[in-house]
């Protein structure tokens, strides 16, 4: 398998959270799957919601347990990525017994303390929590 590649996702006019974000919560309920983060690069911390309507799978890991991934990629450019050659997606394919091409994409959210990966058919929606 080719090595994983992390492609930064543009987050909007405010940039790509280059200073990083803090993880605050995961929510998976009737409103979908959401990752709540806080951008602390400004004087006033700013909360955001990263929403995935119907993810296929997700996992959360302490970022210290993903040092290999951290060291192999330039994660200083963003906190939100599309993952090519995802080991998580390959593992899920094996576990499901599926042998065809997956119609899903893996996304990674790298925060100061957590590493969240989401496999989803739909890209994430970034919502300003102050506007909800």
Look-up of token digits 């990752």? 35
First to last CA, the chain: 41
- Residues 127 and 18: their CA atoms lie apart, in Å, by 18
Give me the domain span that covers residue 62: 5-131
C-beta neighbour count of 72 within 10 angstroms: 12
pLDDT number for residue 51 = 95
Q: Which residue has the higher pLDDT, 19 or 101?
A: 101
Look-up of token digits 């790509």? 16
45 phi, psi to nearest 5 deg: -55, 140
Mean pLDDT score of the chain: 83
The pTM score is: 0.85
- Residues 104 and 28: their CA atoms lie apart, in Å, by 19
Token pair belonging to 111: 């925060």
Give the mean model confidence (pLDDT) for residues 32-58.
88
> 80: left (phi > 0), else alpha (psi -120 to 50), else beta?
beta
Alpha helices in 23-80 (DSSP H): 67-72
Give the total number of structural domains in the chain: 1
pLDDT number for residue 97 = 82
**Which residues lie closer than 8 Å to 17 by C-beta, 6 or more apart?**
11, 37, 39, 41, 78, 79, 80
pLDDT number for residue 6 = 87
SS3 of 41, please?
coil
């Amino acid at each position: 398998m080719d090595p994983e590649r992390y492609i930064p996702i543009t987050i909007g006019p405010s940039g790509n959270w280059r200073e990083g974000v803090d993880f605050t919560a995961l929510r998976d309920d009737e409103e979908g799957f959401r990752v709540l983060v806080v951008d602390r690069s400004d004087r006033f911390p700013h909360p955001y919601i990263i929403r995935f309507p119907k993810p296929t799978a997700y996992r959360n890991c302490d970022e210290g347990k993903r040092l290999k991934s951290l060291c192999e990629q330039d994660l200083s450019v963003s906190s939100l990525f599309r993952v090519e050659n995802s080991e998580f997606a390959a593992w899920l394919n094996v576990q499901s017994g599926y042998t065809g091409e997956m119609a899903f994409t893996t996304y990674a959210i790298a925060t100061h303390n957590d590493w969240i990966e989401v496999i989803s058919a739909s890209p994430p929606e970034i919502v300003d929590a102050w506007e909800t």
